[in-house]
Amino acid sequence: VNQYLYIPSVYGKANFSFDKAGEGVSIEKGASDYFRKITEEISNVSTKHKRAVIVFFKDSKRLKEYTSSAFYRKLGRKKEILTEDKSANEKEFVISKAATTGQVTICTAVFGRGTDFFCKDEALEKSGGVHVIQTFLSSDMSEEIQIQGRTARQGKKGSYDI
């Protein structure tokens, strides 16, 4: 290789943040502690900071375990579930609502690839943008990068936790 070419992003400056200095990655002992931690993180970001939260579970089995738990019921009314078995119209509706102030969207990792949770909400942008929570450790680095990419899209603000 004799020559390098630098091409800037067509999407502008990245406004992505991952708090590595804080708790960083959280690993819990059992399902109850795991679900409690997820709920605390969602509530902290969604309620206190008035931000949208998109939570990714590895698969439908784990997502259903969480959504049938008492912890999920504590999240209030502004929440949606996004799974592969929904109709195309239902998926589109949930995706369009996901990046709005105070909205919580619970979905499977499948939606971490290629789904555009686009933020048009100025109040959400001012409060820090969409926050993504990945509830599992990826065995594939590209999957983790794709899930991170669901926030801070096209120059918008956003953050990520695992």
Average pLDDT, whole number, for the chain? 86
- Res. 15: pLDDT tops 70: no
SS (H, E, C) 66-129: HHCCHHHHCCCCCEEEECCCCCHHHHHHHHHHHCCCCCEEEEEHHHHCCCCCCCCCHHHHHCCC
Which tens digits make up the pLDDT trace of 23-40? 667 777 888 999 999 999
If residue 35 lies in a helix (H) or strand (E), which one and from where to where?
A: helix 31-43
With DSSP H G I counted as helix, E B as strand and the rest as coil, what are the percentages for the chain, rounded to 5?
A: 40, 15, 45
Mean pLDDT of 85-89: 96
Superfamily of domain 15-161, CATH level 4: P-loop containing nucleotide triphosphate hydrolases (3.40.50.300)
**Residue 14 pLDDT class (50, 70, 90 cuts):** low
- pTM of the entire structure? 0.85
